[in-house]
Amino acid sequence: MTQNLTKLRPKIALFEPEIPQNTAAIIRTCACLGAKLEIIEPCGFILSDKRFKRVVMDYMDEKDIKFYQNSDDFFKSKKNQRIVLMTTKAPLSYTKFKFKRNDTLLFGRESAGVPDDFHKKIKDKLKIPMKSNKRSLNIASSVAIILAESLKQTKLI
């Protein structure tokens, strides 16, 4: 029996995204690299926002985006799947981690990351190493870095 390779691709999950341009750029990245996007609502903007539409252009295909009404729905749907949390608070660098084809790569809100209880629920937490006097990368840049590494390690690119 052959498996559907689309189901074996990584998924990018955004927790309550706040900035339309960032989400639009992530949609473009996912579309170009073949990753599914999952959005845990509520969003800090509406999809008809002109700033969002300007960046997303014609890359948005809503059938490639799964929306969760809240984090409870998200975690229920991921019951038997691995979630990898990207956080500046993680001790482990993404370069020292072994990604799997069906991982869900979770990114928090631009302003505050994810709630503390997410850190307790999720075993695998990674960071992108940066210079010590810098706070964080833009989320769209972070998604591109981690997604590219995941695809490289799993030989999907």
Domain extents for the chain?
5-153
To the question of domain 5-153 being in CATH 3.40.1280.10, the answer is yes
Spatial separation of the C-alpha atoms in residues 76 and 73, rounded to whole Å: 5
The tens place of each residue's pLDDT in the chain, 157 residues long, gives 344 455 678 999 999 999 988 998 999 899 889 999 999 999 988 777 777 777 666 766 666 789 999 999 999 999 999 999 999 999 999 999 999 999 999 999 999 999 999 999 999 999 999 998 888 899 999 999 999 999 999 998 7
DSSP line for 96-148: G----TT-EEEE-BTTTBS-HHHHHH-SEEEE----TT-----HHHHHHHHHH
Local structure of 37: helix, strand or coil: strand
- pLDDT score, position 48: 74
Backbone angles phi, psi at 21, to 5 degrees: -65, -40
